[in-house]
Amino acid sequence: MKAEQSTAKIIDGKAVARAMRDKQRARVEALMAKGVTPGLAVVLVGDNPASALYVSNKVKACEAVGIKSISHRHPATITNEELLVLIGKLNADPNVHGILVQLPLPPHIDMAKVLETIAPEKDVDGFHLYNVGALVVGRQIFPPCTPYGVMNLLEHENIPIEGRNVVVVGASNIVGKPMALMLMARDATVAICHAKTRDLAQFTILADILVVAAGVPKLILPQMVKTGAVVIDVGINRLPNGKVVGDVDFEGVSKKASYITPVPGGVGPMTIAMLLENTIQSAERTAEGH
């Protein structure tokens, strides 16, 4: 056999998420003993197949830890007003501790308005302006699930963050921006690159930790990565042949990195784990009476 040296440790997000689930189940049981069943309202608009898959994974994960999920599926023809009315009802429902409106929403829906209508104390996605602001000033209330999941993976692998060079590729509100803020809060030196960045490689090559959330298959090639870097691949791309891949050339980069996350089975399952975490947290706050 030819000596294929794959040097990077593959971070198994599925396994980390599973381990978290055991602790989460215990917390849910403790809540139930106090008469509180954590409830998550899951709102899915339209028939985007990827969204439907992610939402069904979320619903299953809720079941696995004992969170009651309440699904609200609506055709893409739902009006802005109808959606806002639904959110108002969920805000007022004491059995609902978390409200998740799966993104993206159809273009005729005013996403910003929808997210700002969610009661901040039920905003388990952390997308409400109040929660975004809290994150900016270093008071995480509900940290957004995907970057929160990345932080947990780094922690799980005991990867130091303080003083390290981190490059985040992608500047979205869901991933890139909150990711950068969470890493800054841990005293990393953070650079954010995006679609308009010229010569991406000159930045990525400096990264001790490289987080990629751009939605472009094979955006990150081995020559763009420093030897021994930690590479976190947040991208999920469906190729025409049906294969699901990230933004990183996994084959090549795993020979150079010290750690790498796979797609699927890396960050995706952690996003779901952190949604459960935030929902349980919300129910715990309710049980404590604040």
User: Which residues make up the interface to ligand L34 (CB under 6 A)?
Assistant: 53-54, 57, 100-103, 125, 145-146, 236, 244, 263-265, 268-269, 271-272
Is 208 a residue of the active site?
no
Beta-carbon contacts of residue 217 (< 8 Å; ≥ 6 apart)? 235, 237, 239, 245, 246, 247
Q: Which is nearer to ligand L34, 36 or 109 (CB)?
A: 109
Beta-carbon contacts of residue 100 (< 8 Å; ≥ 6 apart)? 40, 41, 42, 43, 58, 124, 125, 275
Task: Strand 68-74: give its sheet, edge to edge.
Answer: 68-74, 39-45, 98-101
Q: Which is nearer to ligand L34, 41 or 230 (CB)?
A: 41
> Residue 15 has which token pair?
């396994």
* Beta carbons of 260 and 240 less than 8 angstroms apart: no
Q: Which is nearer to ligand L34, 39 or 203 (CB)?
A: 39
Output the smallest distance, CB 51 to ligand L34, in A.
Answer: 7
> Residue 105 has which token pair?
């929403």
Output the smallest distance, CB 91 to ligand L34, in A.
Answer: 16
* Beta carbons of 85 and 118 less than 8 angstroms apart: no
On the 0-12 / 13-18 / 19+ scale of CB atoms within 10 A, 232 is buried
Output the smallest distance, CB 238 to ligand L34, in A.
Answer: 7
* 3-class DSSP state of 144: coil
- Residue nearest ligand L34 by beta-carbon distance: 268
Output the smallest distance, CB 92 to ligand L34, in A.
Answer: 21
Is 125 a residue of the active site?
yes
Identify residue 123 by its one-letter amino acid code. D
Choosing from 24, 122, 125, 281, the catalytic residue is 125
H, E, C per residue of 276-289: HHHHHHHHHHHHCC
Is 58 a residue of the active site?
yes
Q: Which is nearer to ligand L34, 36 or 105 (CB)?
A: 105
- Gap between the Cα atoms of 54 and 281, Å rounded: 21
CA 146 to chain centre: 1
Q: Which is nearer to ligand L34, 204 or 278 (CB)?
A: 278
- Gap between the Cα atoms of 30 and 104, Å rounded: 34
Output the smallest distance, CB 60 to ligand L34, in A.
Answer: 10
Output the smallest distance, CB 147 to ligand L34, in A.
Answer: 10
Residue 99 has phi, psi (to 5 degrees) of -125, 120
- Residues designated as active site: 58, 102, 125
